[in-house]
């Protein structure tokens, strides 16, 4: 799933490269961006349907940080 508005709405993303079991995948999602700030998020599911939590429990070394990561971006006028 992909969100371009900080998680308010989500859409399916298409896997464009699958490296096999226990590997990363590349995905694509078309986005008609408008000028201004946006918050991008992705949330995957494994073959059992398990998804990462919205937030992760804090620990000093950052182990098991599998929460949804938000990337803020600013889209310029074009």
Residues 24-35 pLDDT 10s: 889 999 999 999
CA atoms in the 13 A half-sphere facing the CB of 11 = 11
Is the per-residue pLDDT at 66 higher than 80? no
Distances (CA, A) of 32 to 21, 29, 35: 32, 10, 10
Predicted TM-score (pTM) of this structure: 0.75
Is the per-residue pLDDT at 60 higher than 90? no
* CATH number of the domain that residue 23 is part of: 2.60.40.650
Model confidence at 39, pLDDT cuts 50, 70, 90, reads very high
| Average pLDDT, rounded, for the chain | 88
Domain that holds residue 76: 1-78
53 in Cβ contact with 65 (< 8 Å): no
Q: What angle do CA 9, 31, 36 make, to 5 degrees?
A: 80
Task: Count the domains in the chain.
Answer: 1
Q: What is the mean pLDDT of residues 61-73?
A: 82
Is the per-residue pLDDT at 78 higher than 90? no
38: β partners: 73
């Amino acid at each position: 799933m992909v969100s371009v508005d900080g998680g308010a709405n989500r859409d399916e993303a298409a896997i464009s490269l699958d490296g096999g079991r226990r590997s990363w995948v590349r995905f694509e999602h078309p986005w008609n961006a408008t000028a201004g700030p946006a918050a991008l998020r992705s949330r995957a599911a494994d073959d059992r349907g398990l998804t990462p939590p919205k937030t992760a429990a804090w620990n000093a070394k950052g182990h098991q940080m599998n929460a949804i990561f938000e990337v803020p971006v600013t889209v310029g006028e074009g």
